[in-house]
């Protein structure tokens, strides 16, 4: 499958962005294992070697995708936080929703594909930003002492675990987002 039209110019113009978006499509279609330099190059209409003008190696491409992912994630959390008077509940639901909507990306972000995150300061920073947003949500929660780290971690772990169990098909027959609502709002299971 070729995403881009054949080029007319020798130079691509914005190959880096094209490779990233091709890789992102691969991630969405087939998960982390489907992301390869060669296939991304193919879709961008370019030879495999050309990728090395823009990424030092495959890992650099994965890191770039993860950075992008955490950026989107932080934005989604922020949106849920700001649009609500129940920020923790809505952030929890948004967390699971994000994972369900972009399973490949979610796995890339949190999984072992990027082995050593500390090699990329940019990645560390965007992770810190996404995490901090989650923490600051905790601090405004009504029923919890501000900045209670145990409660913050509990909420995070709960939603992360729910997302993972859902992606990994351990909750067959349930709608993950409805489960997230039930857990976040301490309501009942529908059905």
By CB under 8 A, is residue 112 in contact with a second copy?
yes
Smallest gap from residue 96 Cβ to a second copy (A): 10
Nearest to 74 by CA among 102, 105, 95, 60: 95
By CB under 7 A, is residue 165 in contact with DNA?
no
DSSP structure class, residue 170: -
Smallest gap from residue 139 Cβ to a second copy (A): 15
CA distance 87 to 77: 9
Looking at 37-45, 135-143, 145-153, 175-183, which segment touches DNA (CB under 7 A)?
Answer: 37-45
**SS3 readout for 10-72:** CCCCCHHHHHHHHHHHHHHHHCHHHCCHHHHHHHHCCCHHHHHHCCCCHHHHHHHHHHHHHHH
The 50-89 site mask, x for binding a second copy (CB under 8 A), equals: ----------------------------------------
The 42-81 site mask, x for binding DNA (CB under 7 A), equals: ---xxxxxxxxxx--xxx----------------------
CA distance 33 to 68: 18
Nearest to 65 by CA among 116, 125, 106, 121: 106
Name residues contacting DNA, limited to 80-139 (CB under 7 A): none
Taking the least distance from each CB to a second copy, the nearer of 34 and 60 is: 34
CA distance 25 to 68: 13
Smallest gap from residue 70 Cβ to DNA (A): 21
Residues forming contacts to a second copy in the complex (CB under 8 A) are 31, 107, 110-112, 117, 127, 149-150, 153-154, 156-165, 167-170, 179, 182-183, 186-189
């Amino acid at each position: 499958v070729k995403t881009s039209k054949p080029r007319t110019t020798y130079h691509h113009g914005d190959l880096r962005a094209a490779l990233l978006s091709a890789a992102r499509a691969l991630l969405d279609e087939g998960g982390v294992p489907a992301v390869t330099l060669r296939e991304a190059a193919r879709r961008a209409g370019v030879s495999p070697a050309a990728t090395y003008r823009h990424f030092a190696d495959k890992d650099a491409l994965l890191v770039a995708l993860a950075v992008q992912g955490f950026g989107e994630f932080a934005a989604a959390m922020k949106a849920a936080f700001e649009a609500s008077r129940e920020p923790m509940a809505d952030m929890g639901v948004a967390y699971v929703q994000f994972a369900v909507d972009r399973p490949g990306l979610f796995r890339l972000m949190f999984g072992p594909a990027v082995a050593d995150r500390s090699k990329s300061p940019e990645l560390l920073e965007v992770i810190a930003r996404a995490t901090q947003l989650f923490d600051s949500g905790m601090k405004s929660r009504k029923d919890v002492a501000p900045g209670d780290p145990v409660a913050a971690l509990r909420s995070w772990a709960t939603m992360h675990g729910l997302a993972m169990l859902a992606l990994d098909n351990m909750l067959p027959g349930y709608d993950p987002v409805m489960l997230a609502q039930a857990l976040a709002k301490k309501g009942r299971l529908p059905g």
